[in-house]
Amino acid sequence: MATAATRDTAGTTAYGTPDATGDTTAYQRAFDAAVAADDRIEPRDWMPDAYRATLVRQIAQHAHSEIIGMQPEANWITRAPSLRRKAILMAKVQDEAGHGLYLYSAAETLGVSRDELLDKLHSGRQKYSSIFNYPTLTWADVGAIGWLVDGAAITNQVPLCRCSYGPYARAMVRICKEESFHQRQGYELLLALSRGTPEQHAMAQDAVDRWWWPSLMMFGPPDDASQHSAQSMAWKIKRHSNDELRQRFVDICVPQAESLGLTLPDPDLKWNEERGHHDFGPIDWTEFWDVLKGNGPCNEQRITQRRRAHDEGAWVREAAAAHAAKHHGEARHTGQTGAARA
C-alpha cells in the first residue's frame, strides 16, 4: 500500500511479516486503512492471508481462462473465410496468450509460480471460465464470442481496473484496452454476416442463440449463492455484485442486438420502465453448475488439449533450460526469446 506509514524512506516496505509475537493487529489496521482510502496494495505490503489466497485464486483462474479461451477461437484460424478475418483472429488469439502472460506475472507477485498454477490447471485443482467449455460450431461463433463473451468479460473487468491489488489492476488496464478492440471486431463480424446472404444471417442468429445464455452465466452465480462476493467487495477486489454486472450487460446488449438485426433468445426479455432496466428470463443454473463441475460439452477436450500441449512441449522446455545452463554467463542477447519483440 502506498502509504507513508508503512514504507521506509527508500520507498520499500519496512516490514513484511508480523513480529515475533505474531501480532498482526497493527498490520491489519494499516491494510484496512489503505483499502478504505482506495490505496493500492503492492506486492511487498503486508496483506491478510485470505486476501492473498483469494487474489491468487481469482487471478490464476483469470489467467487460465485466457489460455483455455484460445482454443475455441483457434479452432477457426485455419478455416477463416477471408484473409482479413484470418489476420484479425490470429491477432486476437495472440493477444489472449499475452493476457495470460500478464496475469500469470500478476499472480507471481503474490508468491506463487506460473508452473505451479499451470500444474493446478492441468490437474483440475483450479478452474477457468465456464464459457470456454462450449464448442465453436460455425464461423459466426467467432463473432458471437467477440461480441458477447468479450463483452461480458469487459463488463466484469473494467471495474477490476480499480481493484485494490495494484499489479492486478494494472494488468486489467492493459487487457481491457485490447478486449474492447476484440469486442468491436466481433460485433463487426456479426454485422457483416447479419447483412450478408440469408445463410450467413441464419448462421449469425444461430450463434447468438447458442452463446447468449452461457454469456450471462459468465457473471457467476446469483448474489444469494455467491460464496466469495461479500468478502471480495469488502476488500475492493470486486466493486459490483454478479447480478448488478449481469443486469448492466443485458442493458448494453439489447440495443446492440437490435442494430445488428438479430434477436436475443429470451421471450421474457423486455424493458421495465419502473426499474429503468430490462427484465430477463431465468438462467438455467443447473446447466451452469454442471459445466462448472466438468460436465459441459468441451471440458474434457479443452483440458486434454492443454495437457497434451504442455506434455508434448516438455522436451522443448528442458532443452531451453539445458542450453541456458550450459551457456550461463554468455552475452545476454543470445538468450533473447522471440517473445521479446511481441
Partner 1 sequence: MTVTVDTTAAAALALGDDALVLSHRLGEWAGHAPVLEEEVALANIALDLLGQARVLLSMAGDEDELAYLREERAFRNLQLVEQPNGDFAHTIARQLYFSAYQQLLYAGLAAGDGPFAPLAAKAVKEVAYHRDHAEQWTLRLGDGTDVSHDRMQRACDALWRFTGEMFQPVNGVDADWAGMETAWLESVGEVLRRATLTVPEGPRTGAWAAGAGRQGLHTEPFGRMLAEMQHLHRSHPGASW
Closer to partner 1 by CB, 100 or 186: give it: 100
Q: How far apart are the first and last CA of the chain?
A: 31
CB of 127 to partner 1, least distance (A): 18
* Residue ranges binding partner 1 (CB under 8 A): 67, 70-71, 74, 77-87, 90-91, 93-94, 97-98, 100-101, 104, 139, 189, 192-193, 196-197, 199-200, 305, 308-310, 312-320, 322-324, 326-327, 334-339, 341-342
Closer to partner 1 by CB, 68 or 245: give it: 68
Residues 6 or more apart whose CB falls under 8 angstroms from that of 321 comprise none
CB of 185 to partner 1, least distance (A): 12
CB of 178 to partner 1, least distance (A): 13
CB of 283 to partner 1, least distance (A): 29
Closer to partner 1 by CB, 100 or 167: give it: 100
In angstroms, rounded to a whole number, what is the distance separating the alpha carbons of residues 75 and 303?
15
In angstroms, rounded to a whole number, what is the distance separating the alpha carbons of residues 299 and 331?
44
Cα-based distances in Å from 185 to 25, 114, 181, 188, 209: 50, 31, 6, 5, 19
DSSP H helices, the chain, are 25-36, 49-68, 70-74, 83-108, 114-122, 140-144, 150-157, 166-194, 198-217, 229-234, 242-260, 285-290, 299-312, 314-326
Closer to partner 1 by CB, 20 or 331: give it: 331
CB of 187 to partner 1, least distance (A): 14
Closer to partner 1 by CB, 282 or 338: give it: 338
